[in-house]
A = this chain, B = another copy of it.
Amino acid sequence: MPRKPIARDAVLDAFEALLIEVGERAATLDAVAKRAGVSKGGLLYHFPNKEAMISSLLERMDGLAALDIEAMKAAPEGAAAFFIKSSLWADTPLDRVFVAATRLAEVAHEETRRRFAGIQQQWLDVLAEEVGPEMAKAVRYMGDGLYFNAMLEGGAGDTEVKASARSADVGALLAAVERLRT
């Protein structure tokens, strides 16, 4: 029963971190290899080309998203409140892949966009069960907006200040969700 290779994951972690911190353009094979502590040749042994690396990142995203959907369904505070709270950047593994993958989507990477659409639809379905299809949309867009702002900041300066500012906003959004629920 062989364990999953470690170096491969380290490379993927480095790719993810660079996408988040410096954007798609600077997440080059050279930079990823250096950050992962391997040579470029070593990197390309694990992933024959860059597209393969992206594919693996999307696999990781789908896996973590599936776990998140389950947690959302089982959340005691309700799916809507869970969704808003988890739309806030918390540096979780899921947050990280999401932001990383968004950097790729912005570069017009079609496969990435398709994956996002699939996950968003699942969220919407769960939300609709709780608050109805109409209000589910309002909640969904609020969460997307929260996420969008986290993503726009990325590794920019003063990230902590902005992140805590958004954290305060979550209270307002949860209050809004309460009012919409009735």
Contacts and interface: CB of A to CB of B under 8 A. Distances in A.
Interface of A: 21-26, 102-103, 105-108, 110, 113, 116, 133-135, 137-138, 140-149, 151-157, 169, 172-173, 175-176, 179-180
Contacts of A143: 141, 145
A122 to B, nearest CB: 15
19 contacts: A22-B108, A23-B106, A25-B107, A102-B106, A105-B152, A106-B151, A116-B152, A134-B172, A134-B175, A137-B169, A138-B173, A140-B145, A141-B141, A141-B142, A144-B145, A144-B148, A144-B149, A145-B145, A176-B180
Nearest to A23: B108
Q: What copy number does this chain have within its complex?
A: 2
Contacts of A154: 106, 108
Contacts of A169: 137, 141
B107 A24 contact: yes
A157 to B, nearest CB: 7
